[in-house]
Amino acid sequence: MKVVSTSRSHGGIQGVYSHVSEVCACDMTFAVFVPPQAKDRPLPVVWYLSGLTCTHANVMDKGEYRRLASELGLVVVCPDTSPRGPDVPDEKDNWQFGCGAGFYLDATQEPYTKNYRMYSYIAEELPALVAANFPVDMSRQAIFGHSMGGHGALTIALQNPERFKSCSAFAPIVQPSTAGWSRPAFEKYLGPDEKSWRTYDATLLIEDGRRFAEFLVDQGTADGFLEEGLRPWLLEEACKKARIDLTLNMREGYDHSYNFISTFMDDHLRWHARRLG
């Protein structure tokens, strides 16, 4: 692991790091905020997964999480959204696919199988690296994210309910297997057999019997992607049938931007902190 940069913030350290990922077969970059309480004891970990076109830097620069994370004693880990590099296959003119659009899944179709393994990266490789290098209590983990990252947070939590104490999302893509802006990516990454897509679709994972204790979702009513890509009512219906507690806040007048996310970031961090003890 290499240190790209560190700076002091709210008594803690905001760092950016890189490493050679065996899972993604390329260099990967991620950010970690370590609050001041870490000098005394290991702290709980909150994972934040970013959305389409983003890197670790979007939430780090615009998410406004450090002040409260420092107050609550939460380590915040912000991974990248996909593999990157000159040898990583990409569609440079397609913001919904390739670099910046890994969809937190493990691709099964060539030429994407070598690099696009973001599910395994987030669920296995990066947690092991974080546990080995930072003062964290891995028995207390939470996960949340925005848009594509909200999709990732929901599906990873549903597949690993024993690992995470809590899960929330800002404007998540709740059913990517049918959404217009994610369905083409699923076919390229996973192939034409839609049965294999169910592993990476929150509503279908719930339909297939996966369970998580509860979810918190915030969604802006002025979000331009609400009707076509996000459709939180589908998650609401799935959770109701499965008797999963869902708090769905429809935020009047808010859009899809980090102005929306930063407004409600404190609510999510406090929600996770209560469940992390």
50 contacts 56 by C-beta, under 8 angstroms? yes
Tell me the two tokens of residue 238: 């799935």
- DSSP conformational letter for 229: I
Alpha helices in 137-257 (DSSP H): 148-159, 183-190, 202-207, 232-242
- Evaluate the CA torsion angle 196, 199, 201, 203 in order and state its sign: positive
Which candidate in 70, 166, 223, 268 is catalytic?
223
Say which DSSP state 101 is in: B
Residue 91 is given by DSSP the state: -
223 catalytic residue (yes or no): yes
**256 catalytically annotated:** yes
Token look-up 């296995």 returns 124
Residue type for 119, please?
A: Y
Q: Can you tell me whether residue 10 is helix, strand or coil?
A: coil
- Which residue among the candidates 146, 151, 256, 272 is catalytic per the annotation? 256
- Residue 163 sits at the vertex; the CA angle it makes with 188 and 187, to the nearest 5 degrees, is 5
Catalytic residue, candidates 21, 70, 82, 147: 147
**Active site residues per annotation:** 147, 223, 256
